[in-house]
Each structure stands twice: as C-alpha cells, then as structure tokens.
C-alpha cells in the first residue's frame, strides 16, 4: 500500500513549539485524510529544529467510486423547481428516475487518485497551521513560524506536484511560491550541502542520519542523555538530569553533541541553586555533580549542534568563558545583595504593587505577618518568631538575584537571612512557598508551617475578596494550588486549625485597610471636608462634617448609596468611598459610582465561597487518593471547617459503610428520610419527645426509641472525643432496631397519635445519624 | 580561536563593511544623533516602511545612559557599537549570507557551535516588532536576527531582514578577551580602553549626576512640540518633513533616557513618556508611508 511523505522545511523553529507542532500536524493530517475518504494504516509526525515531517502508511491509490442518490422535486412540481434541481446536479431530465411521484438523481462519483487530493490537503494545513506566533517574510504573504523554504511531498515514491503560492510578485524567473519537490537537506554545517533526493520515508530518514540529522526527538533525547552521562562518567562525575532542559535542548540541535566543559571552580562558593539556574536559564547547560561530595562539580554539559573538527575543544573553552561571565554577574548580585539586606528590600516593597486592588507588597507583608502571628500558637510556633519570619519572607523579591532569577524566590531569602536570623527563620523563608504542587514536599517545621499558611491564606482571602476566583481552566493567581497547599499543610501535619475564623478575621483586615484607603482618597479629593474613621471594638465610627456615623455590630458595612440617602451629599463627593455596612445579606457590592476603584469588601459569602473552595479541593485530593467524594460532601454538609476532623470522619464513614451494618443502616436511613420528606410536603413534622409504653405500641417501636436514646448518648460522647469509629459503632447499634421497625411497624397508622409518635421517632433517627454525617448525601 | 591571528576591533568593522558592501549594501556612516540602538537610525526604522527595496549596513554608536558603570564593569558601557544590516525585502538566503559574514571574521561553524535561538524582538519606544533569533556562538549571543513585522505601530508592507551584531562582544569573543577595555582596537596595539575608558568615566558621571533635570524636561517638551510643527509643514516638492521630524523624535528619546538615568522618571510617569515617544514615532512612520504613496 502506498506511503505519503511530507516534509515542511523551514528556518529554525522555536524549541518550545516543536512538540505541539508535531501533534497539530498529526491531528490536521488525520482529519483531512478522513474528510477526503482516505483510510490509512498508520500516521506519524516528527518535529525538529528545521523540519516538520509527516509519514502516512497504507493509503489507497485512489478513493473508492461513490454513488449518491439525491431527492429532487415532485414530478408534478413547476418547471422552475425542476430546472433548479437539474442545474444543481448537472444532469438532464431523462437521467432522473421517478419513484412514488418524486424525482431522484443518482450522482456517480468516480473515485479520485489519492495523489490528486494531496495538494489541497497540504496547502490547507500550511495555510491554517496553528503556530502560537507566525510571520511573513520577503515580499510574500504566506505565513509560517519562520520562513518556509522547501516542501518534500512524495506519494508512493513519486513527487506530488504543486505550488503553495506566497503572493509575491513574479520576478526574474522566481517561482511565485514554494514548489513541492523530492529533495531535502541535511545538517546545516555537517551535511554535504547538496540537496538530498529521497524516494521513501525509510530512505529519507536514513539519508538524513547520514547527513547528521536525527529526525526523531526521542532519538535526540536518548543520544543527549547517553552522551552526557558517559561524558560525565569518564571523569568520575554525574549528570544532574533535568527533563525540561532535555526537552528544550533536543529542540535546538539536529545532531545533538553533548560536551563536558570546565567551570572556574572559584564559582563553587555561590549557592548551588544559583549556579544551576544560571547554567540552565541563560546557557541551557546541564549541571554536573561530584558523587564524592554530593555537591556540584566545577563542570557543565553543553549540548552542541555540531561534532566540531577539533573534538569540541574550542567550543567547550568558548562556552566556559561565557559561563564565567554569567556567573560573574550572579556573583555581583550575590555580593551586592548581601551588602544591601532586608531592611532596604522591605522599604523597596512599599513601591511594588502586588495587585491594584490588594495594595503593595509591603502591605501584603504586613498582612502575612499579622496572620502568621495569629496562626503560630495553633501550629506550635512562637508568635514573635512567626511574625518576624513572615515579615522577612518576601524581602528577597526586591533583591538583585531574585530580580534576575525569579525562580529563586524564598531560596535566596533563606541564604541571606541565615547568618543574622538563625536557621529556623531562614528555613521558614526558604520553604514558605511550599508545597508548590502535588509532587512537592510539605514543610513540617512549625515556624515554616505558620508562614506558609499565612502566605497562602492571604492570597486566597485577598483574591476571593476582590472576586478573582478561578473559573474553568483559568486560574491566573494559582489559587487552586494555594488551597491545595493549605489543605496538605494542615492534613499532613495533623493541624487543628479553625479555617473559618481565620478566613473571616483576615478578610476584615483586608477590608479595613480598604476603608482606610477609601477615606484617604476622600480626604485627598475633598480637602475642605475632613473625615476620620476609626474602629471602636466592633463598632465603626466615622466622623465627618455632616455628623458622626456609628454602625454597631461585628459586621458593619455601609454602601455609598446608603449614605447618600441619609446625608445631603452629591455623588461626586462620595465617589470611591466604600464604607462597610450590612446590607442584610452579609455581603454588599460597591456602588457603580465607586467605579470599582475601591470595590473591595468581604461579606460572609466570601468566607463561605472560600470554604466551599477548600471542600472542592479536598474532594479532588481525596478522590486522587481513591476515596469516595460523596462521603466528603456528606461530612462537609455538617459545616465543619476542621480539615483533620473532616478527613477522619470521612475515613470512619467509609469504613462503616463497607460493613454490613453500615450498608443496611444507610438503606434504613434512606427509607426513613423518604417518608419524612413526603410528610414534610404535607406540613410541619411533629417534634418533641417520643412516647414509649403507649397503648398497643409495637415492641419494635419501643425498642427503636430506646435504641435511639442510647445511640444519641454514645454518639455524643464519641464525637466529644472525636472518636469517629466509636460514633459509627454507636450507629451500628441502630441497624437491627431500624430493620425490625420497618418490618413490624406501619408508620402511617390510622390513629393520628400513633402516626405522630412514629414520625417523631424517625425524625430522631435521622437527627442522631445526622450528627455523624449527612447520610442523605451518600450515594447508595 | 587563535588569538594571535584574530581581528582587531577596527578590522572587524572593516571586514564586515567589505562583506556587506559586496552584497550590495550601501555602507553608511553612523547617524549623527544619539540613539539607543542601531535600529533607530532612519536608515532602518523609516526605510523598513513602504515598498521600496533597500540594502544598507553601518556602524551605529548606541547610547544607553543608564548602563554606564564608570568604566569599571568589564562588559557594560553607556556607549558601545552595533553593526547594523538591513536588507529589504529579506533575501531567501539571509541566514547563509549571515553565516558567511561570521566566516569572514574568522568564526568557523565547523569548529564553533552556532545556533539560532528563538527571540521575538520588540522595541516598544518605536512601536517595532519582529520574529527571529538570537544567534549564539558557543553559548554567547553575538547577533540579533530579526524579520521585521511592524514598525512605528504599522504592519510592514515588505519584510526586512535586520541583523544587529554586538561588535564589542563579538570582538571580545574573537580576540579571546574578558574585559572590553583590553580589546585591541588596532592591530598595532591601541586598546579599546585607550579610546573609550575616559569617555565612560566622564559620561557616566554626567548621566547619573550631571545633567540638569529641569533642563532635560524642558528640552524634551520642546522636541515634542517641534515634531508636530515639522510634520505639519511642507517642503519644496510638497512633501511632509518626515526626516527632520524624526530627528527630533530621536532627540526626545535620548533626553528621556538621560532623565531616566538621572532617576527623574517616576514609575507612574514612565509609561506615559514611552507612550508619547511611540506616538511621535508612529506619526513619523505614517507620514513616511503617505509620502511614499504621494510620490508614486
């Protein structure tokens, strides 16, 4: 079966775009072949520094003949309708067939040679290829990621002739576009420099390899790894492997040639992170480890694109000199930073905006410091230490080194703080961004945990307060990662943290600051009418020329419009003022006149939204661990905000439901709940004490009543000590009485008193079970 | 690299002149107004607009007042040279032409590792952008290679290929020197330091502490006003005075850089200054394109 080979040869394609380009080519070619009715056996694509290649195996020589019947007008239809149909089908009246008074046209479509279908297909791919950025060149209009130079297009060993026109003027015999051909070229410097005529994919691949081009990125990666490892081994060293870097360098060389170079050992006194990042970011070198010390060796591996005629001596020496210049820059930052220090950096953060609506980095530092202080006792850290560590934690963002290498945030702060502030604080600064992803480790040192939690909670509360929540795939402030970080910090350290209270309190801190800022704005814009704002306990007091406004209560909000209604102000005067006032719903939005400039506020909805967000993230985490997410819902419905307790409860519930008692009790719960729900629709359910020893009361009813009583006591006691297994055991005691009750007792008795007592009893069953979990949320 | 045979700084320039001259480029002399980059020379920025073919090469001193280090940093200068080549439309074999220019100055691609590493170039001050690469030689960036896609905020009619060689870096590489001031300027041994070190010291002091900020601001405003005035005038053939207007834009741009080095530009003002220069540039670019249409 024939083979299709397509190569799109261009100037150097950015490394970061190559893998996606291979996937796009695969998808686009597959779609187009399918649309053309061409079945194939296999389709493979390759991407490299200068070429995208497609090979399709097992294509037919032509598409099959097709015959299609088209329904036309009725035989009795007016002349125009018939004419229209004939025009459309290109047939004459006598070629139509008639069936049941309707005319039909049979269109015979001859199969087309596959080779005839290819040009349009290739041109379509070229003209619509989704490069992240593409460009024009010369005086043409064609676009590609970089100038497209050649197209190799062979079907069944023969050139498929076509020209992709590029809109350039026809001048001096120059083809007005790019013509398909059967010749490619090899390595830019090591190849023969002559066009390589190819006959098939196998021949193409072999000739490329003979001309120093490895077509397949997987081969290039393998060569790099093996070459780099053995170059290191030969000197008794070890390669520091790096998948991201490997991916990139394998897109920068057609004939990757790893070479071990020497670094001036005097640079080894720089932090290893700095050396590695300097090598990776600026030079795309791999770092090298000395297995004897476990530390970095004074070497690097550069992946060249050429087997140099001198064995790579000159280029290793050249790269080494460039690296020295880079490391000299890094040393400059390292030396300067240590002269400058945290005081100056923190001062500098006053001029750095964190987010337009959330103030400067300095303000953020203050908030994190206050929060870390509050969290410290909850995690076993010293509040003064926690506040100090938090205050220093963001300082390195203003340092020269982190300005150069943002990835070193925290790490540099740790180095710079260690001598003066001690190991615990330095570690807290270094690790407070952790965990940065599901694979990252979670800090355990109490001080670090306090700062890490404060950092993440400030981010979460702040962005939720200004309504910048993640939506769908958009999470520009990485809030999901922050929430997962909080959850893992809490769970993996077994911390008992009242999240709701922390979130609510911190929300107020953010809101108060916004109020102060609003009033400052007001003062600046209305210099004759001074207003002052203060908090007295939970009360908000605003003194201004129009009188004193006091709003009592812990949740005082006031909107501009509210004030306007009560005070003789023009809207101009009040632009931008947002004073917290309760609008009754626990939340309020700034009025439009505020222009959104001060639209920051935190109602209870922010707290509940954020807690729901945590619940959602916890569900994802537990699901990844193979736990049932409906159980998380069942436990979250209780309104608890203690993650450790929630997880323990979920685990106990999971174990309980796996038992026979658990599964049966769940069925009993559902039955009771259904009856109650049906009754609730008719009117309020009866409440109050369940009677026992009533006339004609079935034994099963009395037994259940006592069982519920016992269970309640046991459950309460178990919950008191957070012994959820015991709580489940207590519930298990209900299984037999519940089953017996449903077997022996008719809830809907004709005697109203009996019916009422039984409904009360079922209500109590639901209530006592509901103290352990919301079984209504459990699937089953 | 064999240091003994390596080209002196001026021979590097002369070799490139000879090479690009042979490719049909007009060899121009540096523009006589301070600019921050060779691209800003009207022979690049303005000539890249419109449809007329154009080939030129020149050395352009680049003035970056904020980069001055009083001659104490081995690689940073407030005044250095760029070698600028513009070919419009870009020839199909521009990469090969470029690689041959490296061979001409003694860089053998079979001995050294030459790479084209993605770099999307952008100069917001003149509203110019393009796609291309940084060219690396043994890990060092020696040239910016760009296919212009837009200039003065206008998409180009015809794509120009632009090559910007960092001459000092290239020379340091070729000569195997780690400090720019130790470069051989002439074969006979005059060093780069002898030519420029004192200039760096004096200019650094003036850039950081010398110039009168109020005076700079005043002159900036004067230049801005001059651009509009000149663009509104017409020459003897009825043409807009784009070239003199653009000269004033360059002067304004340099005044801005001086104010910036003096620390006189507040963070909040910065974007506004850059925006004003870009708008002036755009006005000149539009006038240039109009002028070409009018003349045709």
What's the rounded Cα separation, in Å, for the pair A209 and A227?
17
Interface of A with B in 422-461 (CB under 8 A): none
- A318 and B89 within 8 Å at the Cβ level: the answer is no
Q: Name every chain A residue with its beta carbon within 8 A of the beta carbon of B74.
A: 325, 328
Is residue B65 within 8 A of residue B278, CB to CB? The reply is no
| Number of neighbouring beta carbons within 10 Å of residue A98 | 11
- A315 and B111 within 8 Å at the Cβ level: the answer is yes
For the cut 80, the answer to whether the pLDDT of residue A266 exceeds it is yes
Q: Which two tokens stand for residue B32?
A: 């006589």
- B113 and A16 within 8 Å at the Cβ level: the answer is no
What's the rounded Cα separation, in Å, for the pair A217 and A18?
9
Q: Name every chain A residue with its beta carbon within 8 A of the beta carbon of B133.
A: 12
- A283 and B139 within 8 Å at the Cβ level: the answer is yes
The pLDDT tens digits of the residues spanning A303-333 come to 999 999 888 898 999 999 889 888 988 888 8
Q: Which two tokens stand for residue A569?
A: 């102000």
For the residues A600-619, what does the mean pLDDT come to? 74
- H/E stretch holding A540 reads strand A539-544
Whole-Å CA distances, A415 to A372, A378, A384, A419, A422: 21, 27, 21, 8, 10
- B147 and A14 within 8 Å at the Cβ level: the answer is no
- B113 and A306 within 8 Å at the Cβ level: the answer is yes
Residue B146 backbone phi and psi in degrees, to 5: -135, 135
More confident residue, B84 or B174: B84
- H/E stretch holding A109 reads strand A102-109
With a CB cutoff of 8 Å and minimum separation 6, the contacts of B271 are none
- A135 and B1 within 8 Å at the Cβ level: the answer is no
- B139 and A302 within 8 Å at the Cβ level: the answer is yes
Is residue A751 within 8 A of residue A759, CB to CB? The reply is no
- A314 and B110 within 8 Å at the Cβ level: the answer is no
What's the rounded Cα separation, in Å, for the pair A309 and A306?
9
Q: Name every chain A residue with its beta carbon within 8 A of the beta carbon of B182.
A: none
B209 touches chain A (CB under 8 A): no
Q: Which two tokens stand for residue A586?
A: 């626990």
- H/E stretch holding B58 reads strand B54-63
pLDDT at site A598: 30
Select from A336, A324, A265 the least CA-distant residue to A299.
A265
CATH superfamily of B3-205: Bira Bifunctional Protein; Domain 2 (3.30.930.10)
A306 touches chain B (CB under 8 A): yes
For A350-377, give one letter per residue: b (16+ CB within 10 A) or e. eeeebeebbbebbbbbbbbbbbbbbbbe
pLDDT at site A464: 86
ipTM of this complex? 0.93
Residue A14 backbone phi and psi in degrees, to 5: -50, 135
Select from A635, A632, A592 the least CA-distant residue to A616.
A632
For the cut 50, the answer to whether the pLDDT of residue A545 exceeds it is no
- A319 and B95 within 8 Å at the Cβ level: the answer is no
What's the rounded Cα separation, in Å, for the pair A250 and A407?
23
More confident residue, A357 or A529: A357
Select from A128, A126, A199, A123 the least CA-distant residue to A163.
A123
DSSP class per residue in B60-102: EEEE-GGG--TT-SSS--SEEEEEEEEEESPPTTHHHHHHHHH
Cα first-last separation, chain B: 51
Nearest to B113 among A135, A309, A315 (CB): A315
Considering all CA atoms of chain B, what is the largest pairwise distance in Å, rounded to the nearest integer?
Answer: 57
- A302 and B147 within 8 Å at the Cβ level: the answer is no
Instruction: Set out the domains of chain A in order of their start, with CATH numbers.
Output: 4-62+114-210 (3.30.70), 69-109 (no CATH), 217-333 (no CATH), 343-497 (1.10.3210.10), 505-607 (no CATH), 642-777 (1.10.730)
DSSP class per residue in A275-335: HHHIIIIII-PEEEE-TTTSSEEEEEEEEESS--TTTTHHHHHHHHHHHHHHHHHHHHHHH
| Number of neighbouring beta carbons within 10 Å of residue B245 | 22
The pLDDT tens digits of the residues spanning A58-86 come to 999 998 888 888 888 888 888 888 888 88
- CA nearest to A318 within chain B: B138
What's the rounded Cα separation, in Å, for the pair B11 and B22?
16
B75 touches chain A (CB under 8 A): yes
For the cut 60, the answer to whether the pLDDT of residue A29 exceeds it is yes
| Number of neighbouring beta carbons within 10 Å of residue A474 | 8
> What is the SS3 string spanning B221-277?
HHHHHHHHHHHHCECCCCCECHHHHHHHHHHHHHHHHHHHHCCCCCHHHHHHHHHHH
**Domain chopping of chain B, boundaries:** 3-205, 212-295
pLDDT at site A588: 31
Q: Is A346 left (phi over 0), alpha (psi -120 to 50) or beta?
A: alpha
Instruction: Give me the half-sphere count of Cα atoms (radius 13 Å) on the Cβ side of residue A193.
Output: 3
For the residues A504-510, what does the mean pLDDT come to? 80
For the residues B31-52, what does the mean pLDDT come to? 94
- CA nearest to A353 within chain B: B267
Is residue B167 within 8 A of residue B12, CB to CB? The reply is yes
For the residues A435-444, what does the mean pLDDT come to? 91
Cα A619 from chain centre: 16
Cα A575 from chain centre: 37
A309 touches chain B (CB under 8 A): yes
What's the rounded Cα separation, in Å, for the pair B103 and B80?
23
What's the rounded Cα separation, in Å, for the pair A8 and A50?
8
For the residues B161-181, what does the mean pLDDT come to? 93
B117 touches chain A (CB under 8 A): yes
pLDDT at site A193: 81
For the cut 90, the answer to whether the pLDDT of residue A518 exceeds it is no
Q: Name every chain B residue with its beta carbon within 8 A of the beta carbon of A188.
A: 109
What's the rounded Cα separation, in Å, for the pair A558 and A588?
8
B212 touches chain A (CB under 8 A): no
The pLDDT tens digits of the residues spanning A278-304 come to 999 889 999 999 999 999 999 999 999
- CA nearest to B267 within chain A: A351
Is residue A760 within 8 A of residue A687, CB to CB? The reply is yes
- A11 and B116 within 8 Å at the Cβ level: the answer is yes
Minimum distance, in Å, between the CA of residue A39 and any CA atom of chain B: 38
- CA nearest to A328 within chain B: B74
Minimum distance, in Å, between the CA of residue A16 and any CA atom of chain B: 9
Name which of A72-76, A390-394, B146-150, B165-169 the model is least confident about.
A72-76
With a CB cutoff of 8 Å and minimum separation 6, the contacts of A503 are A457, A460, A461, A606, A607, A610, A611
- A138 and B89 within 8 Å at the Cβ level: the answer is yes
- A305 and B140 within 8 Å at the Cβ level: the answer is no
- CA nearest to B51 within chain A: A139
If 0-12 CB within 10 Å is exposed, 13-18 middle and 19+ buried, where does residue A15 land?
Answer: buried
Report the percent of chain A where pLDDT is more than 70: 87
Q: Name every chain B residue with its beta carbon within 8 A of the beta carbon of A351.
A: 267
B135, B138, B161: which to substitute to probe chain A, counting the most A Cβ within 10 Å? B138
What CATH code would you report for B212-295?
1.20.58.180
DSSP helix/strand/coil, A607:
helix
The pLDDT tens digits of the residues spanning A180-234 come to 999 999 999 998 888 999 999 999 999 999 999 999 999 999 999 999 999 999 9
For the residues A144-170, what does the mean pLDDT come to? 91
């Amino acid at each position: 079966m024939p083979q299709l080979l397509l190569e799109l040869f261009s100037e150097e394609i950015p490394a970061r775009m190559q893998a996606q380009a291979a996937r796009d080519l695969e998808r686009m070619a597959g779609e187009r072949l399918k649309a053309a009715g061409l079945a194939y056996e296999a389709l493979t694509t390759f991407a490299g520094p200068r070429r995208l290649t497609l090979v399709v195996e097992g294509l037919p020589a032509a598409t099959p003949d097709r015959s299609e019947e088209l329904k036309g007008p009725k035989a009795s239809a007016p002349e125009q309708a018939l004419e229209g149909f004939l025009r459309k089908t290109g047939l004459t009246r006598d070629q139509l067939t008639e069936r049941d008074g309707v005319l039909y046209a049979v269109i015979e479509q001859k199969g087309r040679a596959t080779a005839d279908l290819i040009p349009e297909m290739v041109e379509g791919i070229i003209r619509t290829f989704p490069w992240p950025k593409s460009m024009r060149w010369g005086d043409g209009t064609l676009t590609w990621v970089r100038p497209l130079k050649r197209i190799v297009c062979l079907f069944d060993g023969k050139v498929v002739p076509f020209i992709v026109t590029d809109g350039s003027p026809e001048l001096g015999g120059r083809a007005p576009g790019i013509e398909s051909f059967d010749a490619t070229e090899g390595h830019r410097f090591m190849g023969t420099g002559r066009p390589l005529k190819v006959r098939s994919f196998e021949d193409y691949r072999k000739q490329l390899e003979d001309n120093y081009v490895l077509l397949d990125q997987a081969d290039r990666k393998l060569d790099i790894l093996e070459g780099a490892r053995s170059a290191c081994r030969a000197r008794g060293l070890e390669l520091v492997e790096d998948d991201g870097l490997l991916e990139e360098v394998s897109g920068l060389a057609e004939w990757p040639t790893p070479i071990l170079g020497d670094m001036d050992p005097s640079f080894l006194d720089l932090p290893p992170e700095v050396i590695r990042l300097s090598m990776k970011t600026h030079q795309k070198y791999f770092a090298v480890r000395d297995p004897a010390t476990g530390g970095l060796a004074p070497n690097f591996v550069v992946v060249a694109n050429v087997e140099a005629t001198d064995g790579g001596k000159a280029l290793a020496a050249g790269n080494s000199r460039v690296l020295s210049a880079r490391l000299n820059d890094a040393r400059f930052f390292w030396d300067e930073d240590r002269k400058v220090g945290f005081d100056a950096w923190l001062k500098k953060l006053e001029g750095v905006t964190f987010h337009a609506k959330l103030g400067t980095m300095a303000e953020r530092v203050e908030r994190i410091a206050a929060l870390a202080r509050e969290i410290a006792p909850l995690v076993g850290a010293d509040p003064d230490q926690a506040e100090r560590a938090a205050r220093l934690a963001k300082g390195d963002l203003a340092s020269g080194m982190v300005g150069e290498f943002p990835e070193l945030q925290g790490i540099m702060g740790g180095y710079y703080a260690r001598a003066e502030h001690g190991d615990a604080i330095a570690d807290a600064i270094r690790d407070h961004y952790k965990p940065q992803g599901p694979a990252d480790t979670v800090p355990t040192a109490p001080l670090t945990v306090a700062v890490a939690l404060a950092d993440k909670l400030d981010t979460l509360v702040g962005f939720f307060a200004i309504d910048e929540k993640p939506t769908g795939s958009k999470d520009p402030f990485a809030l999901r990662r922050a929430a997962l970080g909080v959850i893992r910090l809490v769970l993996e350290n077994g911390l008992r943290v009242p999240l709701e209270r922390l979130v609510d309190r911190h929300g107020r801190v953010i809101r108060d600051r916004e109020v102060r800022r609003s009033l400052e704005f007001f003062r600046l814009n209305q210099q004759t009418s001074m207003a002052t704002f203060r908090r007295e306990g939970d009360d908000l007091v605003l003194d201004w020329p129009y009188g004193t406004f006091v709003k009592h209560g812990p949740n005082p909000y006031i909107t501009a419009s509210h004030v306007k209604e009560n005070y003789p102000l023009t809207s101009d005067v009040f632009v931008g003022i947002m004073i917290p006032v309760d609008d009754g719903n626990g939340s309020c939005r700034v009025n439009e006149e505020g222009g959104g400039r001060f639209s920051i506020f935190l109602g209870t909805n922010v707290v509940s939204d954020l807690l729901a967000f945590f619940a959602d993230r916890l569900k994802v985490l537990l699901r990844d661990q193979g736990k049932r997410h409906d159980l998380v819902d069942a436990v979250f419905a209780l309104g608890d905000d203690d993650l450790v307790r929630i997880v323990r409860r979920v685990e106990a519930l999971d174990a309980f439901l796996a038992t026979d008692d658990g599964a049966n009790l769940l069925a009993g719960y559902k039955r009771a709940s259904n009856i109650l729900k049906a009754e609730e629709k008719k009117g309020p359910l009866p409440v109050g004490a369940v009677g026992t020893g009533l006339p004609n009361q079935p034994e099963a009813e009395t037994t259940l009543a006592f069982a519920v009583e016992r269970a309640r006591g046991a459950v309460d006691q178990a919950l008191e000590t957070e012994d959820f297994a015991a709580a489940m055991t207590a519930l298990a005691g209900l299984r037999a009485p519940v089953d017996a009750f449903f077997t022996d007792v008719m809830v809907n008795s004709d005697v109203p008193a009996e019916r009422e007592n039984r409904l009360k009893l079922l209500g109590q069953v639901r209530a006592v079970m509901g103290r352990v979990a919301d079984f209504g949320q459990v699937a089953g | 690299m064999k240091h003994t045979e390596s080209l002196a700084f001026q021979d590097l320039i002369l070799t490139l002149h000879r090479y690009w001259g042979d490719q049909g480029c007009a060899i121009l002399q540096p523009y006589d107004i301070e600019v921050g980059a060779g691209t800003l020379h009207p022979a690049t920025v303005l000539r890249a607009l419109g449809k007329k073919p154009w080939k030129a090469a020149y050395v352009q001193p680049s003035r970056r007042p904020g980069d001055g280090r009083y001659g104490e940093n081995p690689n940073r200068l407030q005044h250095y040279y760029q070698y600028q080549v513009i070919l419009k439309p870009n020839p199909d074999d521009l990469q090969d032409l470029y690689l041959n220019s490296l061979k001409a100055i003694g860089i053998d691609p079979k001995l050294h590792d030459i790479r084209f590493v993605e770099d999307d170039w952008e100069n917001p001050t003149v509203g110019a952008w393009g796609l291309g690469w940084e060219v690396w030689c043994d890990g060092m960036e020696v040239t910016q290679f760009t296919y212009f896609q837009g200039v003065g905020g206008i998409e180009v009619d015809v794509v120009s290929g632009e090559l910007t060689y960092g001459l000092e870096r290239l020379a340091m590489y070729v000569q195997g020197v780690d400090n720019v001031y130790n470069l051989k300027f002439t074969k006979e041994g005059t060093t780069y330091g002898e030519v420029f070190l004192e200039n760096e010291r004096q200019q650094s002091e003036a850039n950081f502490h010398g110039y009168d900020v109020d005076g700079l601001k005043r002159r900036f405003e004067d230049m801005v006003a001059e651009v509009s005035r000149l663009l509104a005038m017409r020459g003897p053939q009825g043409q807009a005075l784009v070239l003199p207007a653009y000269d004033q834009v360059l002067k304004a741009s340099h005044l801005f850089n001086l104010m910036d080095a003096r620390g006189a530009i507040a963070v909040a003002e910065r974007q506004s200054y850059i925006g004003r220069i870009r708008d002036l540039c755009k006005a000149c670019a539009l006038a240039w394109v109009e002028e070409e249409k009018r003349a045709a």
